[in-house]
């Protein structure tokens, strides 16, 4: 009898006897078990009684208040963080999250557009049950099953309309207890630095708890939409916040630099939203603004500004009244989940017992006076690769493979030493300059070669050959060109390509090994253009009369195969700057691509700030540029243009490369555009980076109703590096 609690005994407004409850419970258990076996859902042993979401004494304070209207929503997220694990799927009401219908233990996924079949079956079962209950309430039928009595406890008013409405609001959510526990063990490593940054930025120390929601305090987290690091910063936002993102460094993965960037964002958000709110009501206080500031971290400052202007500076009013397709459940839940994470972290001992947390990160910093390889750093300072990776997480794989050098002026982090490595640093400064270490092999292009064909012969990645040699989006190579062949990790043998000249020829006594037979290819001539046209800059390779990119024949129009997606994403990068002659003056311009900002253009042009670009294009300060917008560039000559295009290409290749490192494509689905759709919303609904969708569907920036789009289905290669699943449904 110990398993029967008082709240479980009361059903339908009247108490049931323990014996009746026990009988009904076993009968329902048996029925549920049979149903699960028939459906093949793979659930664990089912439970009939609806799960309970306890109330908590939040005691929030004034800085980040807990309005009574959202306290039950906070209670739900506390339960998600402290009780339910990631292998548990919670079915609940999207408008009233504390109304939980069922919790199932399963390997099935719970995602917005691609929930597992077993999850969808359970969702439909609950929907049918609610609809049936609504019919009985309308008819006044009091003959309820035990499961229906359980369900009725979630609707104290017993209104049929409310029950019927709830049938259309069933949402699924995966638990996070195990992720939160892991986050608590990492939390101490970064706590001191984050508190220091928040204090110096004039921000509340409670923002310390935001990374529990964003990344589970995992500095290597990488989301499905391309956000990265402890603070889950998007590529476009990274540049605005002063973070580098290129083939050498991605500072979003650096917890300390990313924390300063997040603080800059939150400081600007506070200032902007305060000004907007005071435009509606002069009596606004900081405590009124803070919920908007936290929500803006998920929804954006511009989005929150629109909501305040339309509804007013009352947060609860905005939750109730503001309507926008992008103001989804995830956004409405964000502040509540932050309050819940704060509560659980502050009461960690109560819910997780004593945990052995990480010690604060300590290190020494030395400034590099010249570009340096990782191999040289390891040798001079005697530090392991694992230690360097932990202390310098911003380095990309190109640095670790030796294809890029750590840049001059970089603040290198090393294990803490009182002497700050003075002797080793002095030795480093005496060593001669370095060049990127590739494989030591050079290949001279012969007639019939292609970039990918050469890569296959040397058993390396085609993308790596293109990247290392900066071959551009079409991987153009020419006869006689000398290519660097990137090293393969733990390479066991060297294969010599057909008709190749190698920098270090094999001895005459040993016959040259033959390469696998390659189809004859011919390089198409690139015709010159008139002075008033843009140079072609898109050379192609022709095979048997069919257009081919980097040696691979293009398929007919349609959805690519999963294994072709990343090649197509690389292939679809168009960085060409358009050139025109107008009244004897040459002008340069481009169309804005996703994840680009005026700041990027200024960096790639080497002109410092964006003031010149804004004047040239008559763009007011604070105005964002739009994807597809035409921007004129202050380019002086073709050398500057080529440098610009090279940097732009590198940036977009890095985005593709990072996405491929973290995700694999399982399938490519066809999506039919519906009323109200646009490319951005479709990408968000399918949890994909915007640029992935636009690049796989070129020439269709504004699809019409009925158009069909190729949409990849991706899965994390290393789920531990994916942020916590806190906002699907």
Tokens of 218: 């995992």
569 neighbors 695 (Cβ within 8 angstroms): yes
CA distance 702 to 723: 31
164 neighbors 130 (Cβ within 8 angstroms): yes
CATH architecture of 578-721: Roll (3.10)
**Residue spans of the chain under pLDDT 50:** 1-42, 44-47, 490-557, 727-729
The 3 state secondary structure assigned to 147-182 is HHHHHHCCCCCCCHHHHHHHCCCEEEEECCHHHHHH
pTM: 0.80
What is the longest distance spanned by two Cα atoms in the chain?
Answer: 98
CA distance 67 to 132: 34
Backbone angles phi, psi at 352, to 5 degrees: -125, -5
Q: Which among 91, 89, 93, 97 is positioned nearest to 43, based on CA atoms?
A: 89
CA distance 497 to 485: 11
Q: Does domain 178-352 have CATH number 2.40.30.110?
A: no
Tokens of 573: 């990068």
Strand order across the beta sheet in which 441-444 lies: 482-485, 441-444, 501-502
CATH H-level superfamily of 441-554: LysM domain (3.10.350.10)
Nearest 10 degrees: Cα torsion 454, 456, 461, 465 = 0
- Confidence at residue 648, expressed as pLDDT on a 0 to 100 scale: 95
CA distance 20 to 4: 12
- Confidence at residue 696, expressed as pLDDT on a 0 to 100 scale: 94
Beta bridge partners of 406: 372
* Cα–Cα distances in angstroms (integers) from residue 438 to residues 198, 441, 570, in the given order: 42, 8, 22
Tell the residue number behind the tokens 């699809």, with chain if given. Answer: 703
CA distance 103 to 106: 10
Tell the residue number behind the tokens 């480093």, with chain if given. Answer: 428
Tokens of 116: 């597992």
Written as one string, the DSSP assignment of 554-613 is PPPSSPPPGGGHHHHHHHT---PPEEEEETTEEEEEEEPPTT--HHHHHHHHT--SSHHH
CA distance 494 to 441: 10
231 neighbors 661 (Cβ within 8 angstroms): no
- Region class of 253: left (phi > 0), else alpha (psi between -120 and 50), else beta: alpha
CA distance 727 to 35: 29
Q: Which among 177, 178, 151, 183 is positioned nearest to 164, based on CA atoms?
A: 151
- Confidence at residue 16, expressed as pLDDT on a 0 to 100 scale: 31
State the sign of the Cα–Cα–Cα–Cα dihedral 313, 316, 318, 321: negative
CATH topology of 441-554 equal to that of 578-721? Answer: yes
* Cα–Cα distances in angstroms (integers) from residue 421 to residues 394, 430, 657, in the given order: 21, 15, 34
Beta bridge partners of 364: 414
CA distance 39 to 44: 13
Domain boundaries, the chain: 6-49+87-174, 178-352, 363-430, 441-554, 578-721
CA distance 508 to 283: 88
Other CB atoms within 10 Å distance of the CB of residue 227: 20
Other CB atoms within 10 Å distance of the CB of residue 491: 12
CA distance 395 to 472: 23
- Confidence at residue 558, expressed as pLDDT on a 0 to 100 scale: 63
368 neighbors 433 (Cβ within 8 angstroms): no
pLDDT (tens digit per residue) in 500-544: 333 333 333 333 333 333 333 322 222 222 333 333 333 333 233
239 neighbors 600 (Cβ within 8 angstroms): yes
548 neighbors 554 (Cβ within 8 angstroms): yes
727 neighbors 330 (Cβ within 8 angstroms): yes
Tokens of 308: 């305040």
Q: Which among 10, 14, 168 is positioned nearest to 96, based on CA atoms?
A: 168
153 neighbors 70 (Cβ within 8 angstroms): no
CA distance 42 to 44: 7
């Amino acid at each position: 009898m110990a398993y029967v609690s008082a709240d479980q005994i009361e059903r339908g407004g009247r108490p049931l006897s323990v014996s009746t409850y026990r009988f009904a419970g076993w009968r329902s258990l048996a029925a549920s078990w049979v149903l699960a076996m028939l459906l093949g859902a793979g659930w664990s042993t089912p439970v009939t009684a609806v799960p309970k979401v306890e109330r908590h004494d939040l005691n929030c304070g004034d800085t980040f208040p807990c309005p009574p209207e959202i306290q039950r929503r906070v209670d739900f997220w506390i339960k998600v963080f402290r009780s339910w694990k990631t292998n548990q799927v919670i079915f609940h009401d999207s408008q009233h999250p504390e109304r939980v219908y069922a919790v199932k233990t399963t390997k099935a996924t719970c995602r917005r557009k691609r929930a597992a079949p077993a999850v969808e079956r359970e969702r439909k079962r609950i929907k049918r049950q609610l609809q049936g209950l609504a019919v009985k309430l309308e008819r006044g039928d009091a003959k309820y099953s035990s499961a229906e009595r359980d369900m009725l406890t979630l609707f104290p008013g017993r209104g049929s309309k409310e029950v019927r409405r709830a049938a259309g609001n069933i949402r699924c959510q995966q638990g996070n207890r195990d992720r939160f526990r892991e986050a608590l063990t990492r939390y101490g490593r970064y706590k001191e630095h984050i508190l220091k940054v928040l204090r110096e930025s004039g921000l509340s120390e409670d923002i310390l708890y935001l990374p529990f929601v964003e990344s589970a305090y995992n500095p290597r987290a990488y989301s499905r939409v391309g956000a990265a690091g402890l603070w889950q910063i998007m590529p476009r936002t990274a540049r605005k916040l002063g973070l580098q993102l290129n083939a050498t460094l991605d500072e979003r993965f650096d917890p300390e630099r990313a924390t300063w960037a997040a603080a800059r964002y939150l400081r600007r958000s506070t200032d902007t939203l305060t000004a907007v709110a005071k435009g509606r009501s002069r009596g606004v206080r900081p405590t009124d603004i803070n919920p908007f500031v936290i929500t803006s971290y998920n929804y954006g400052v511009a989005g929150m500004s629109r909501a305040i202007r339309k509804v007013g500076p009352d947060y609860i009013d905005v939750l109730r009244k503001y309507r926008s397709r992008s103001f989804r459940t995830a956004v409405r839940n964000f502040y509540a989940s932050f309050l819940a994470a704060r509560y659980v972290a502050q009461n960690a001992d109560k819910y997780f017992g004593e945990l052995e947390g990480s010690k604060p990160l300590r290190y020494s910093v030395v400034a590099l006076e010249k570009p340096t390889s990782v191999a040289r750093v390891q040798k001079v300072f005697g530090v392991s690769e694992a230690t360097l990776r932990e202390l310098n997480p911003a380095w990309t794989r190109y640095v670790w493979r030796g294809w890029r050098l750590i840049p001059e002026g970089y603040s290198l982090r090393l294990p803490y030493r009182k002497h700050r490595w003075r002797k080793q640093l002095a030795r480093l400064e005496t060593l001669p300059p370095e060049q990127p270490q590739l494989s030591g092999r050079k290949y001279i292009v012969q007639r019939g070669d292609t970039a990918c064909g050469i890569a296959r012969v040397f058993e390396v990645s085609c993308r790596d050959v293109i990247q290392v040699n900066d071959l551009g989006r079409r991987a153009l190579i020419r006869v006689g060109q000398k290519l660097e062949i990137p090293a393969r990790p733990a390479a066991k043998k060297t294969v010599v390509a057909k008709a190749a000249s190698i920098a270090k020829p094999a001895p005459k006594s040993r016959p040259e090994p033959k390469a696998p037979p390659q189809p004859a290819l011919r390089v198409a001539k690139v015709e010159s253009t008139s002075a008033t046209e843009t140079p072609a800059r898109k050379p192609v390779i022709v095979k048997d009369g069919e257009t081919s990119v980097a040696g691979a024949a293009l398929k007919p129009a349609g959805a690519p195969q999963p294994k072709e997606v990343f090649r197509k994403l690389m292939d679809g990068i168009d960085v060409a700057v358009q050139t025109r002659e107008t009244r004897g003056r040459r002008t340069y311009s481009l169309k804005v691509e996703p994840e680009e900002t005026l700041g990027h253009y200024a960096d790639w042009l080497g002109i410092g700030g964006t003031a010149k670009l804004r004047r040239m294009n008559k763009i007011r300060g604070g105005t964002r540029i739009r994807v597809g917008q035409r921007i004129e560039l202050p380019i002086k000559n073709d050398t500057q243009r080529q440098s610009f295009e090279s940097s732009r290409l590198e940036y977009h290749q890095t985005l593709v490369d990072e996405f491929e490192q973290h995700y694999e494509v399982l399938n490519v689905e066809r999506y039919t555009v519906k009323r109200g759709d646009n490319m951005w919303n479709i990408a968000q609904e399918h949890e994909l980076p915007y640029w992935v969708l636009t690049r796989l569907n070129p020439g269709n920036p504004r699809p019409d109703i009925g158009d069909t789009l190729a949409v990849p289905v991706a899965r994390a290669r290393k789920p531990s590096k994916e942020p916590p699943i806190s906002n699907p449904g």
